Amino acid sequence: DAMVIQNPRYQVTQFGKPVTLSCSQTLNHNVMYWYQQKSSQAPKLLFHYYDKDFNNEADTPDNFQSRRPNTSFCFLDIRSPGLGDAAMYLCATSGGPGGGASEQFFGPGTRLTVL
Amino acid sequence: QQPVQSPQAVILREGEDAVINCSSSKALYSVHWYRQKHGEAPVFLMILLKGGEQKGHEKISASFNEKKQQSSLYLTASQLSYSGTYFCGTAGSARQLTFGSGTQLTVLP
């Protein structure tokens, strides 16, 4: 089945220790998104790629970086995680013109704990 | 700017109906609706593009009033499986969605 896969599902890191979360998709969608979702809150968009075109939200901290080496894979790097970065990180994809006109397919998420 | 959802929470019995509203202060190109169960990823329900169309999906339907920049999600004859948090996501001319704060729906037997 075509899907969005995130690894790992659970990640524990220490304060200040870099961490990388990964997302892969078999849908061949051109748009990929990274969201941060804290408990009982809405998903908050961090950045998205339209093909290789990277789009950063204005309020995304510099601590967060992303890479998309090819259509299928996208990575979220948190350079120096703080306690406030503990959250669920959701990867999503969409085909066609993108989020406004196309449904987004979400991966299962990676729950990040910062000790 | 985050769309406003109401109510924040609703509890109903199986078989009852519910309406969830979503409003934005910005001109909208589309409205999406997603349902998220605890600890799981959001699941797409439907998308409404500007044009005021109404869509349906089994016993769940939605409307979009682009003049008022509002959308409503209608759940009829609710089932236990409908429980979860419902998010609307709104999009202007750009590709990205901004999600509302969510409505927690609990369906009791």
Interatomic CA distance for residues B2 and A75, integer angstroms:
26
CB contacts of A97 in chain B (<8 Å) are 95
Confidence of residue B9 (pLDDT cuts 50, 70, 90): very high
Question: Which residue of chain A has the CA closest to B5?
Answer: A42
How far, rounded to the nearest angstrom, does the alpha carbon of residue B25 sit from its chain's CA centroid? 17
Q: Which of residues 38-77 of A touch B (CB under 8 A)?
A: 40-45, 48, 50, 55, 57
The alpha carbon of residue A59 is apart from the nearest alpha carbon of chain B, in Å, by 12
What does the pLDDT look like over A84-99, one tens digit per residue?
A: 999 999 999 998 665 5
More confident residue, A90 or B58: A90
Flag whether residue B8 sits within 8 Å of chain A, measured between CB atoms.
no
Q: Do A101 and B94 touch (CB under 8 A)?
A: no
Q: Do A42 and B44 touch (CB under 8 A)?
A: no
Residue A34's φ and ψ, nearest 5 degrees, are: -120, 130
Flag whether residue A81 sits within 8 Å of chain B, measured between CB atoms.
no
CB contacts of A44 in chain B (<8 Å) are 99
- Residue A37: enclosing H or E segment and its boundaries? strand A31-37
Flag whether residue B29 sits within 8 Å of chain A, measured between CB atoms.
yes
**Burial level of B104, CB count in 10 A (0-12/13-18/19+)?**
middle
Interatomic CA distance for residues A47 and B31, integer angstroms:
20
pLDDT of res. A97? 60
Interatomic CA distance for residues A58 and B15, integer angstroms:
44
Q: How many CB atoms lie within 10 A of CB B24?
A: 21
* 8-state DSSP, A38: -
CB contacts of B44 in chain A (<8 Å) are 103-105
- Six-digit token pair at B88? 């609307």
Interatomic CA distance for residues B87 and B1, integer angstroms:
15
CB contacts of B95 in chain A (<8 Å) are 31, 48, 50, 55, 97-100
CA distances from A29 to A10, A11, A43, A57, A105 (A): 25, 26, 20, 20, 10
* 8-state DSSP, A102: S
Q: Which of B44, B49, B101 sits opposite A101 (nearest CB)?
A: B49
Mutate to test the interface with B, among A10, A33, A104, A111 (most CBs of B within 10 A): A104
Interatomic CA distance for residues A10 and A2, integer angstroms:
22
Q: Which residue has the tokens 């969510």?
A: B102
Residue A85's φ and ψ, nearest 5 degrees, are: -90, -5
Helix, strand, coil content of chain B in percent (nearest 5):
5, 55, 40
- Per DSSP bridges, beta strands A10-13 and A110-114 are parallel
pLDDT beyond 70 at B95: no
What does the pLDDT look like over A12-60, one tens digit per residue?
A: 999 999 999 999 999 999 999 999 999 989 999 999 998 898 989 889 9
What does the pLDDT look like over B16-48, one tens digit per residue?
A: 999 999 999 888 888 999 999 998 999 999 888
Q: Which of A41, A100, A107 sits opposite B95 (nearest CB)?
A: A100
